[in-house]
Amino acid sequence: MVEEYYNPVFWPGNERALLFFLHPFVISFALAWFWNRFKNHFPGTRAARGARFALVYVLIATLPSMWITFSAIAVSLSMVLAWAAYGFLQVLVAGWAFAFLNP
């Protein structure tokens, strides 16, 4: 699986490399907006609300992007599933943080 990362398709070149490192900031603002807009639609305890938020986001954003990635780029299913799991964990932590800091 590691050798799949050495494919040149994963390196956009030096002129766009900064965009990769801006990803955490872009996703944090997007998730914060999403939480503020829809937090009242997630019932339950704070932990459950954060988990529901993560599940909804993964179904809306992560799953379709993993589908298109698997269909368009020559990567293994295990790599795409690992990326999807990482995406879920990333949003789960954000959901819990939002639920506890901004109920």
Q: What is the pLDDT of residue 14?
A: 73
Query: For 34-93, what is each residue's pLDDT tens digit?
Result: 999 999 999 999 999 999 999 999 999 899 989 988 888 888 899 899 999 999 999 999
Q: What is the pLDDT of residue 8?
A: 65
Q: What is the pLDDT of residue 10?
A: 62
Q: What is the pLDDT of residue 9?
A: 63
The model's pTM: 0.77
What is the spatial distance between Cα 55 and Cα 88, in angstroms, rounded to a whole number?
A: 7
Question: Which tokens sit at 60?
Answer: 């809306």
Is residue 13 predicted with pLDDT exceeding 70?
A: no
Query: Residue 27: CA atoms inside 13 Å, Cβ hemisphere, count?
Result: 19
> What amino acid occupies position 79?
M
Q: For residue 94, what pLDDT band results from cuts at 50, 70 and 90?
A: very high
Q: What is the pLDDT of residue 2?
A: 55
